Amino acid sequence: MLVDVTIKLKRGVTDPEGENTKKALTLLGFKNVQSVGVMKTFRIEMDCGDEAEAVKQAEEMCRRLLANPVIHEYEIKVVRG
Amino acid sequence: MLVDVTIKLKRGVTDPEGENTKKALTLLGFKNVQSVGVMKTFRIEMDCGDEAEAVKQAEEMCRRLLANPVIHEYEIKVVRG
């Protein structure tokens, strides 16, 4: 089972990497860029027959390791069963 | 126009962050994890009326700033027109 776990910053949390990327793009001449946000995706291949079980495990991975609940929110998507 | 630019490592390039995440997950008890890969997505909001033009600009951003052609490949997706 292939699962994509996307970690992004909660609304209202400053995204310095995104802001600096926006600045750099503007300096390079891309004047029409209004905002840049950065997200990270973990593509996890796991040995698991059941889709619901895979999502449950991915959620536990987020809670225990991948995401920081103070600043992050996460999204789990099964890519391939 | 909202465009997602996803940067991932080319096949064959070592992904230390993914490998260490896999190790950590295994140590936490997720024994069924087979591999973990990491990708980064830039969500770019740009002032641009035409979808093809937005994709063209995003490609130029990848070439000039966001991706390293030696190790990265990129994918561009228009999220909202």
Are B46 and A34 within 8 A, CB to CB? Answer: yes
Range of the domain at B22: 2-80
- Report the number of distinct structural domains present in chain A: 1
Q: Is the dihedral of CA B12, B16, B21, B23 positive or negative?
A: positive
pLDDT band at A80 (very low <50, low <70, confident <90, very high): confident
Does the pLDDT at position B10 exceed 90?
yes
Find the CATH number of the domain harbouring B71. Answer: 3.30.1280.10
Please write the tens of the pLDDT for every residue from B28-76.
999 999 999 999 999 999 999 899 999 999 999 999 999 999 999 999 9
d(CA A14, CA B42): 15
Residue linked to tokens 């295994």: B26
Residue B81 has a pLDDT of 77
**Is the complex ipTM more than 0.85?**
yes
Both tokens of residue B27? 């140590």
A9 touches chain B (CB under 8 A): no
Choosing among B3, B7, B46, B60, which should be mutated to test the A contact, i.e. which has the most A CBs within 10 A?
B46
Nearest residue of chain A to residue B18 (CA atoms): A42
- B58: nearest Cα among A40, A12, A28, A2: A28
This prediction has a pTM of 0.93
How many CB pairs lie under 8 A apart between chains A and B? Answer: 89
Residue A28 has a pLDDT of 98
Residue linked to tokens 């920081």: A68
